[in-house]
Amino acid sequence: MKKHALLSTFGLSLMISTLTAQAAALSSEHSAFGQLPDGTAVEKYTLRNSHGVQASIITYGATLQSLLVPDKAGKVDDIVLGFDDVQGYQNNGTVYFGATIGRFGNRLAGGKFSLDGKTYQVPQNDKTNALHGGDKGFDKRLWKAEETKTADSVGVKLTYVSPDGEMGFPGRLQTEVTYSLNDKNELKIDYRATTDKPTVLNLTNHSYFNLAGVGSGDVLKQVATLHASHYTPVNDTLIPTGELPAVAGTPVDFLKPTAFGKHIKDDHQQLKYAEPKQGGFDFNWVLDSKGDVKKLAAEVSDPQSGRTLQLFTTEPGVQLYTGNFLDGSIHGKGGKVYPHWG
């Protein structure tokens, strides 16, 4: 059977600036994280570095379940939204906390795409569109995992084989997602996939970051910089229009450090499409780095905690989403409430 390597490797690297702390050397371990309704075990893999940073990944959805990071005073907080058990992820599947998204992240208009002259119809799970691979995408699959280790990092490689025709997508697809953590406070996510026939693929991670700590309130005072001179505007169903206007002079200009709350309520059609009642961000910026992983793509900082997150990626764009659909009804880790824009 001939296989086609869709991607040699692509991914992102998150660099977290914190107070330097003394801790044990790089280490990893795995433990139980509950069971699915059919009794299948879900596992958690925890990666630690010597600066007090700790990332936990679960095999359900190849999900980043927690990311513990010290603040400027040494206080450790979890900075990614999620749940304490697998039932939380299953019962709140439409928020995609920390999940690996596939086969196709974001929306397909009408749930359709054309490939080699053939039109494919996939499930429409976001009104008339397909979102994040359908109602049972990669985020709701159980992945196989194995620990990895190099001279300067610890990690876990997760693998999922999607059969030909799953959720309407052509081709048997084997996907590998590798999370690794090093002592530079870099959390790397690398993706690799192979298929036996042409298909479409758009993998990503759907973590929600709150650098002040989960459940601490909204992120409106946190400051973002996006090294992106253009963006992709969307229509009222959040499908890109095909235009690539400049960000200059608009509320989506983050070329200079700007608090999320500065323009989020501006009277601008794109912000209303993202969140009709109060405004929000939920679209793609075209990175000036053009996929050069050595160039800084984006940065977010929290003045209160002193935490800073930097993003490096091999991809040409980045999606910024401000938790517009969170409304305070979801109770996450430790019973904490996840508020709007939180």
Q: Which residues are annotated as a binding site?
A: 106-107, 206-208, 282
DSSP symbol at 246:
B
- What's the rounded Cα separation, in Å, for the pair 244 and 229? 10
Give alpha helix (H) positions in the chain.
Answer: 86-91, 269-274
Which residues define the annotated binding site for beta-D-galactose? 106-107, 206-208, 282
Helices and strands in the chain: count of H runs, count of E runs = 2, 23
For residue 24, what are its two tokens?
């044990």
For residue 152, what are its two tokens?
């300067």
For residue 13, the tally of other CB atoms under 10 A from its CB is 20
For residue 23, what are its two tokens?
């801790």
Q: Which residues of 267-302 are buried (b: 16+ CB within 10 A; e: fewer)?
A: eeebbebbbeeebbbbbbbbbbbeeeeeebbbbbbb
For residue 216, what are its two tokens?
């601490």
- What's the rounded Cα separation, in Å, for the pair 63 and 96? 9
Contacts of 101 (CB under 8 A, 6+ apart): 132, 133, 137, 138, 139, 202, 203, 204, 205, 206
